[in-house]
């Protein structure tokens, strides 16, 4: 455990991004895009909460993600809906990479 912590601190100090960081952040980004897809499709927020908590209670991170998505207005055009999904996913990817 101590060796892993040392490695993690070293990676943070050198600013290196590993494939594992990318993979973990990609998962978060994809989840954000999926949540925004539901937002843009008009899925009620309670259904999205139910979907994300089927395997147990949602994490505070996922709850915040859902709330942020539903604070944004739904786009009218398909093109802008796609842009909204991509941008929303990008926000969470960048945030994750900055935290890793």
Spell out the domain ranges in the chain. Answer: 18-99
- Chain mean pLDDT for the chain: 83
Residues 6+ apart with CB under 8 A from 28: 61, 92, 93, 96
What one-character-per-residue DSSP string does 48-78 give?
HHHHHTTTSSPPHHHHHHHHHHHHSPPPSSH
H/E element holding 43? none
Q: At what angle do helices 60-71 and 19-41 cross, to 10 degrees?
A: 40
> Model confidence over 7-50: pLDDT tens digits?
444 444 445 557 778 889 999 999 999 999 999 999 999 999 99
Q: Enter the pTM of the model.
A: 0.76
């Amino acid at each position: 455990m101590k060796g892993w912590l040392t490695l993690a601190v070293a990676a943070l100090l050198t600013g290196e991004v590993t494939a594992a960081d990318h993979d973990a952040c990609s998962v978060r980004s994809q989840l954000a895009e999926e949540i925004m897809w539901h937002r843009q499709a008009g899925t009620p927020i309670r259904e999205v909460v139910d979907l994300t908590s089927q395997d147990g209670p949602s994490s505070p991170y996922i709850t915040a993600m859902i709330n942020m998505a539903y604070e944004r207005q739904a786009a009218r055009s398909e093109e802008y809906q796609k842009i909204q999904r991509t941008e929303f996913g990008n926000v969470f990817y960048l945030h994750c990479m900055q935290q890793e």
